[in-house]
Structure 1
Amino acid sequence: MSHASVSSVTKEQPSPVANPNTRSAFNDVRRKVTTKHGWLGDYDYRWLCLPSLPTGKRKQPPFYGLNDELPLILAMASGLQHSLAMLAGLITPPIIFASSLALDPETSSYMISASLIGCGILSLIQLSRIKLWKGYYLGTGLLSVVGTSFATLSTADAIFTAMYNNGTCPSTVGADGTVTRGSCPDAYGMVLGTSLVCSFLEIGLSFLPPRILKRVFPPMVTGTVIVMIGASLIGSSGILNWGGGSNGCQLRPTSGIYELCPTVGSPHALPYVRHA
C-alpha cells in the first residue's frame, strides 16, 4: 500500500463557538421545549433500552459531537445515568471509612456530605482550566468529575488496623477472642492530614513533562499497581460490601442496629460470623 493511499489523521482542536445573544438563546430554548424534534430528536431509543443480543444486528446510534445539541429526553436520561454512576463513586469511600472506624451515623453523614461538596468544588475547578503561567493550567478543561480516590482504601485500611492494634484507637476483646472496634474519628483525621502532606508530591509531579512521567511510571508499573489495588480491595471492602454491604455488623458491636446483619430490624437478621 502506497503512502498516498493512506489517509492521514489530523488532530485539531474544535473551533470556538460564538456566545449566543439573548434573543437567539430564547428562540433556541423555545424551539427545544415546544417541538417534537427538540424533545425526541432522531435518536434510536430502542438501542438505548433494549438488550444487545450476540446474534442480533443493531444499527449504531447517531454520534453527537462536542457542540451538537442533544434531544431533551436523551439529555435527561444520560444526565441521570451519569449522575448515578458518579454518585456511587463519590460516596463509597467515605462509607467504607466510616464502617472501618465504627463511626456513628451523624459522622458518616458528615463525611459523605464533605465528599460531595469537595468533589463538586474541585470538579468546577477542573472544568474551568484556569491559566496560571507559562502554559500551565489549573484543571484540564475536560468534562470530568474529580472524585474520591479508591486507591486510598487499602492504605487507609492498613493504617486503621495498625492504630487499633497499637491502642491508638479503642477496641474490646470478647470472651471468644473476637475483637470489636470502637469509634475512632481521630484516625480519619490523621489520614486526612497525611493525605494533605502527600498531596504536595503530586502537585510537584504535575509540573514535570509527560515524557519524564512515562519513563518513571511505565505501563508495567502503573498496570501492576492498579491490579494490586483491585486485589487488595476484595478483602477489605469487596466481600464486606457484597450484596448491599454488611454495614457495620462485621465489627460485631454488642448494641445498636448493626448488632445483627444486615440490621436488627431485618426479616431474617443473623449475627456476623467469621470463618477461618
Structure 2
Amino acid sequence: MNTQDLTGDRPAAVDQVPAPGPLVMLGFQHVLVMYVGAIAVPMIIAGALKLPKEAVAVLINADLFTCGIATILQAAGIWRFGVRMPVMQGVAFSAIPPILVIATNPALGLPAVIGAVMAGGVITMLLAPVFGKLLRFFPPIVGGSIVMVVGLSLFPVGVNWVGGGRGAADFGAPHNLALAGFVFALILVINKWLKGFWSNVSVLLALAAGMLVAIPFGMVDFHGVAEAPLVDVIHPFYFGWPVFDVVATLTIVVVMIIIMIESMGLFLAIGDVVNKPLSAGEMTDGLRANGLASLIGGALNGFPYTIYSQNIGLLVVTGVKSRWVVVAAGVILCALGLFPKLATVVASIPLPALGGAGLFMFGVVTAAGVRTLARVDFEGTRHNVYIVAATLAISLLPTFSATLFNQLPGWLQPIMHSSILLACVMSVALNLLFNGMVCADAHAMPAAGGWQASR
C-alpha cells in the first residue's frame, strides 16, 4: 500500500517519525494509559494460583517485556507480521478463566498453559489469512457500531479507577473524586489553551500534575520501590518446559479466535482514526502478528496478547497518528520489564488520576464511533437504525451486568462476556440480514478525513 501523502513525497501521518524528545514523551504517555491493565492479568493469575513473590515478579517482568515485543511487532512490522499502525498490545483479560482452569489442574499446571499458548499462537498464524478475507463484511455501519461499543464498554473501567479501584476501602471517597476531576479538567484546559506538542501530551501532563498533587495527601503509594531490584533478566520457561495437551490447546485456541474477531474490529477502528484504509493483506499481517506475539509470550512465561482499546482514545485526543510513537512505547515497556524498580515507580500513579484521564479518552472513543456512523445513510435505509440499536443493546449487556451470563454453559461465557466480540458478531450478522452484501467491499472502512485534531 502506498504510504506517501497524496500531496507530495511527505510520508503519511501514520509513518511520520517525531523528533527524539517528543517521541519518547508521546510513547511514555501510551504506556501510562495501558500500564494498569498490562500488569493486572499476571497479578490476577499469580494471586489465584498463590504463587510465591519471586514467581509473581517473574510473571510481571515477563509480561511487560513481551507486551513491548508484541507492540513493536505490530507497529513497526517485520516481513508479513504486523499491521503497521499505532497499535498497543497487552495481555488479554479473556484468557484468564481458561488459563486458571488449566493451571489449577494437577495433571497440567503452568507448563500446560505455556504449551497451549505457544500452540495457540502457531494456529492463529495459520488461521490469519482466513480471517483476513472477512474484511469486506465490515462497512462503516459495522465499524462505527464496534467503535462506539469499544468506548462505552470501557467506561466501567474508568469509573472503578475514579473511585480508587475495585475493593478499595476508600472507594468513592471525596479525595479520590477530586483528584479524578482535577486530571479530567486539566486535560480540557491544556487542550483549550496550549498548542502543538504540549496539547499532544495533555494526558501525560495531567497525570504528572495529578501525581504531584496527590503526594502531599498520601495518595501515592511507593511501597515496594526500595525492595524492587534495579535490573532483572527474563527467564524463558521459568515454570518448566511446555507441555502440549490437546484439550488445553483447543481451549486456548477458542480464546485466540475470539481475540482475532475482536482485533479485526479494533484494527478497523484504529485505521479509521489514523486515516489509513486497511486491505485484507494488512489485516492478515496484523492477525498473524497476534499469533507470533503469543508464541513468543508463551516461551517467555507470558499469555495471549490482544489490542488495548483504551489507547485508541489517546490517538484521537492527541491527534498524533505516528506508529513510531507506539514503537517507542513498546521499547519503554521492554525497559520496564528489565528494570523492575522503574516499573514499580510507574505503578505508583494513583488510580483516580488514571480514572480522570480514562473517562475523557473513553468518551473520545465513543465520539469516534458516532463520527464514523455519521457517514451512514439512516434516512434512505431505515434498517440501519435497527442494526446500530440492536448491536448496542445486546453487546453492552455484559458491560452493565458482569454476572448476567454466569449461568450459561462454560464454553459460552468467553463469548457472552466480551462486549467487543458481541458487537462484531451482531453488527456483521444484522448488516448481512438487512443490507446483504450491498455495503460490503474490499475497503469497508474508508478513511475519515477530519480526525486531525485542531490545534
TM-score by length of 2: 0.28
Name the larger-Rg structure: 1
**Higher RCO, 1 vs 2 (CA within 8 Å, ≥6 residues apart):** 2
* Between structures 1 and 2, the one with greater helix share: 2
TM-score by length of 1: 0.42
